Amino acid sequence: MPEPIVVEQEFDASAEKLWNAITDQDEMVKWYFAEIIDFRPVVGHKIEFVVAVEERKFVHQWEITEVEPGRRISYSWKYDGIPGEGAVTWEVSERGGGSALRLTNTGIETFPQDDPLFQREAGVSGWRYFINDRLRSYLDG
């Protein structure tokens, strides 16, 4: 089984504030995807939104598969019309006077590997950007 993408980051913010940033739609649109609509951290909830990348439009389709309030949320992730399906798990913990996040992304290898946007390196780079740059700036800035 291919190795998952794992990104870890510590924050000065509380675990509660971190949890809200990754599960509250009003906060998610400020640092993650501005296009997110109708996100609810409820098992079975489905969400669909469109993101444009390099003149291409990707219809993101997520389904919440696991929720441990304040600690862990997972969802499947696929794109309409594109083969493949991944899963993303966000794990929140308290760390000293702040918090820590461990993001695990599996299934990247199931997407078309002849497309640079779906290759592992792009996934690693993208998650580091979202977690280490965008989320960190949002919470600690």
| pLDDT at residue 48, rounded to an integer | 97
**CA distance linking residue 71 with residue 84, whole number of Å:** 27
Distances (CA, A) of 122 to 50, 81, 107, 114: 19, 20, 13, 12
| Cα→Cα distances 7→103, 107, 123, 131, 137, Å | 5, 15, 11, 7, 16
Query: pLDDT tens digits, residue range 21-33?
Result: 999 999 999 999 9
The whole-angstrom separation of Cα 73 and Cα 122 is: 23
Mean pLDDT (whole number) for 112-132? 96
Which of 12, 18, 40 minimizes the C-alpha distance to 90? 18
What local confidence, expressed as pLDDT, does residue 141 receive?
76
pLDDT number for residue 54? 83
pLDDT tens-digit map of 15-70: 999 999 999 999 999 999 999 999 999 999 999 999 998 899 999 999 999 999 99
CA R_g for the chain: 15
Q: What is the pLDDT, as a whole number, of residue 114? A: 96
- What are the φ/ψ torsions at residue 6 (nearest 5 degrees)? -130, 130
pLDDT of residue 140: 86
Report residue 10 as tokens. 């510590």
- Average pLDDT of the chain to the nearest whole number: 96
Mean predicted confidence (pLDDT) in 75-99: 97
Residue 1 has pLDDT above 80, yes or no: no
* Domain with residues 5-140, CATH architecture: 2-Layer Sandwich (3.30)
Domain-wise residue ranges, the chain = 5-140
